[in-house]
Structure 1
Amino acid sequence: MARIRAFMDSKQNVKVHPTEVDCQHRIVSSGGVRLLHLSTFGSDQRASQPKMSQSIQLDSARAGELIDIIKAAFPELRNR
């Protein structure tokens, strides 16, 4: 649970996750800075009640970077 300060290209060996989760979003402000807050919740296979698993926050600059990363990953979105 943290604010994203930087995005970097990764060389990690990653695989597709086997489960899907829901993500809630909310706009929050702190000291006049607007942040996008994203929270994910446990998968359907979780034994207990739904519970927040992870959360991240992005300021305007990081959100702009993420938009560029998403458009690079999904070229069909570039003209949206």
Structure 2
Amino acid sequence: MATVTKITHQALERESAHSEVECTYDVITDKEGHRFLQLDTYGSKGRQLKGKKSQSIRLSQAAIDEIKAIIKEHKL
């Protein structure tokens, strides 16, 4: 699992197709009281073990603020 604390723009060399997957979230509070948004994705429909968690990512408040700014700037 990764905790994202900073987000930096990097242009893609090429765009590739992505399959749709299920995603769940939770708000996590650590021992120091810091809160994180955790996103978990689950295998695509063609995956051998259906419903198995594929990736987990935790976003710090700083990363969440950066995402909000990106969304606002690009009118997403």
* Structure richer in helix, relative to its length: 1
Point out where structure 1 has 5 or more consecutive residues left out of the alignment. Answer: none
TM-score, with structure 2 as normaliser = 0.84
For 2:57 and 2:18, how far apart are their aligned partners in 1?
Answer: 21
For 1:14 and 1:39, how far apart are their aligned partners in 2?
Answer: 25
Structure number with the bigger relative contact order (C-alpha 8 A, sep ≥ 6) is 2
For 2:55 and 2:19, how far apart are their aligned partners in 1?
Answer: 15
SS of corresponding position for 2:57: strand
SS of corresponding position for 1:62: helix
Q: Name 2:23's counterpart in structure 1.
A: 23
For 2:38 and 2:18, how far apart are their aligned partners in 1?
Answer: 24
Moved over 4 A (4+): none
**Count of residue correspondences:** 75
The amino acid of 2:61's aligned partner reads S
Structure 2 contact 5–62 (Cα < 8 Å) conserved = no
Q: Name 2:45's counterpart in structure 1.
A: 44
Q: Name 1:58's counterpart in structure 2.
A: 59
- Alpha-carbon offset, residue 27 of structure 1: 0.5
Point out where structure 2 has 5 or more consecutive residues left out of the alignment. Answer: none
SS of corresponding position for 2:41: strand
